[in-house]
Amino acid sequence: RPTYLILFFFPLTICVSVVTILSRAHADRNVYPSAGVLFVHVLEREHFKGEFPPYPKSGDASSDPITFNTNLMGYPDRPGWLRYIQRTQHSDGVLYGSPTAMHVGKASVIEITAYNRRTFETARHNLVINIMATEEFPLPYQAEFYIRNMNVEEMLASEVLGDFLGAVKNIWQPERLNAINITSALDRGGRVPLPINNLKEGVYVMVGADVPFSSCLREVESPHNQLRCSQEMEPAISCDKKFRAQFHIDWCKISLVDIKKVVPVYITRPDPGTGILPEFGEYNPPSETLMGRNYFSDFLITLAVPSAVALVLFFILGYTMCCRREGVIQLVHHGSIQKSSKELRSMSKNREISWPLSTLPVFNPVSGEVVPPLHPDNYETTIQIVSFGRREMRDNYVMSTFRRLEVGAAVCF
């Protein structure tokens, strides 16, 4: 009986699991953002944890790493206006962007696939985005702020974004104020900050209003503040204290745009036409009786010219290496140098042998006459002649000095 029970419940378990997966794949959610207004949708990890089956092993399911993949249904990526960010596998994902007027009335189905990196389970939801039109689109006055001490996911939080819009409303005093777009500084060419001192990437926040810019915002355009910005100095803005407690704004990078004064640029495109090629008459194919072209001469020229150049270079190199030898005089001179070097090496080994001929004097140091060649073995005779020559030269030098002294004394008397 236990065996029959197992066989009976086994297919039932498979059916239940299949139904559960299908129900998870067809869960849809509809949202209705407005064109020209920032859209933010948070993909909460806690919401998707209930979609995964319980893990059979012991462990804390709340700390499972979960990542998300988002794409437009039927396409590999999201729409151009929609962006996605998730800092770590243990943080929530965020879809954000600003839809334009060309997307009004079009429903975009975004497939959201959640991956549990511990159990390798997946869950899929569909997010249907229905973009609605607004009465005043776009808002005529737009200002873009650069906040240095924030990241994108931090600025997208509803509390932080609400605090920033409240500070902007205090200095601008508009009747209608909306956040239009948020962009990371990395998408504008900024550098990734070093992981020290809690540095942030920075974020650009664009807001729009229905009233002209306040005097505080206009202070950035003054010549004095423009000069300070060119010198990389902080400009003096009276309303900076409204933001300083929570937001560090770079006032040199603020951008004020009045859409009413912007001159539209129209790009003229050529008429696409009907797509039918103009008629050129009846097609006449080439005749089959045409003579074929002979490429043999081209082949010979292609091979002959490089071969001739290579042959000339070969002969020049052979003549330089084989025929341009060193002369006999240079060889004899080189041989004498080698012979003298060998004699010096042999003398250093044995100090008792006679002096080499290359070290003996050629001329008499006193008379200047050529000294007759001596036998290399007669070492004592050679020493005596050299010593006698040096002694005679020293006596002549003393006599010449004495004669000079006598002449000097006679002149004095």
For residue 363, the model assigns a pLDDT of 54
Which DSSP letter does residue 366 get? Answer: T
For residue 253, the model assigns a pLDDT of 92
pLDDT interval class at 330 (50, 70, 90): low
Buried b (16+ CB within 10 A) or exposed e, 273-303: eeeeeeeeeeeeeeeeeeeeeeeeeeeeeee
The region of weakest confidence among 292-306, 334-348, 367-381 is 367-381
Q: What is the tens place of the pLDDT at every residue in 207-220?
A: 999 999 999 999 99
**pLDDT above 80: residue 26:** no
For residue 410, the model assigns a pLDDT of 44
Compute and round to an integer the Cα radius of gyration of the chain. Answer: 50
CB atoms under 10 Å from CB of 94, counted, come to 19
Q: What is the tens place of the pLDDT at every residue in 115-140?
A: 998 888 888 999 999 999 887 778 88
Give the pairing type, strands 122-130 and 27-31.
Answer: parallel
Question: Phi and psi (nearest 5°) for 339?
Answer: -65, -45
Average pLDDT, the chain: 77
Rounded CA separation 22/185 (Å)? 41
For residue 403, the model assigns a pLDDT of 47
Candidates 258, 240, 32, 34; CA nearest to 142 is 258
Residue count of the chain:
413
Class of 23-130 in CATH: mainly beta
The region of weakest confidence among 45-49, 256-260, 396-400 is 396-400
**pLDDT above 90: residue 244:** no
Rounded CA separation 9/14 (Å)? 9
Q: Which residue has the higher pLDDT, 67 or 269?
A: 67
For residue 365, the model assigns a pLDDT of 55
**pLDDT above 50: residue 8:** no
Domain with CATH 2.60.40.60 in the chain: 23-130
Rounded CA separation 192/249 (Å)? 18
Task: Give the whole-number percent of the chain exceeding pLDDT 70.
Answer: 72
Q: What is the pTM of this model?
A: 0.57
Candidates 113, 100, 89, 97; CA nearest to 41 is 97
For residue 79, the model assigns a pLDDT of 92
**pLDDT above 60: residue 21:** no
Q: What is the tens place of the pLDDT at every residue in 152-208?
A: 999 999 999 999 999 999 999 998 999 999 999 998 888 888 777 788 899 999 999
For residue 250, the model assigns a pLDDT of 92
Q: Which residue has the higher pLDDT, 330 or 108?
A: 108
The region of weakest confidence among 56-65, 167-176, 240-249, 351-360 is 351-360
For residue 14, the model assigns a pLDDT of 30
For residue 245, the model assigns a pLDDT of 87
For residue 364, the model assigns a pLDDT of 59
For residue 386, the number of C-alpha atoms closer than 13 Å in the C-beta half-sphere is 12
**pLDDT above 80: residue 355:** no
CA 138 to chain centre: 38
Question: Phi and psi (nearest 5°) for 146?
Answer: -110, 115
Rounded CA separation 163/147 (Å)? 13
Rounded CA separation 30/131 (Å)? 11
pLDDT interval class at 33 (50, 70, 90): very high
pLDDT interval class at 52 (50, 70, 90): confident
Mean pLDDT score, 27-43: 89
Q: Which residue has the higher pLDDT, 319 or 401?
A: 319
CA distances 61 to 47, 93, 117, 337, Å, are 13, 18, 11, 91
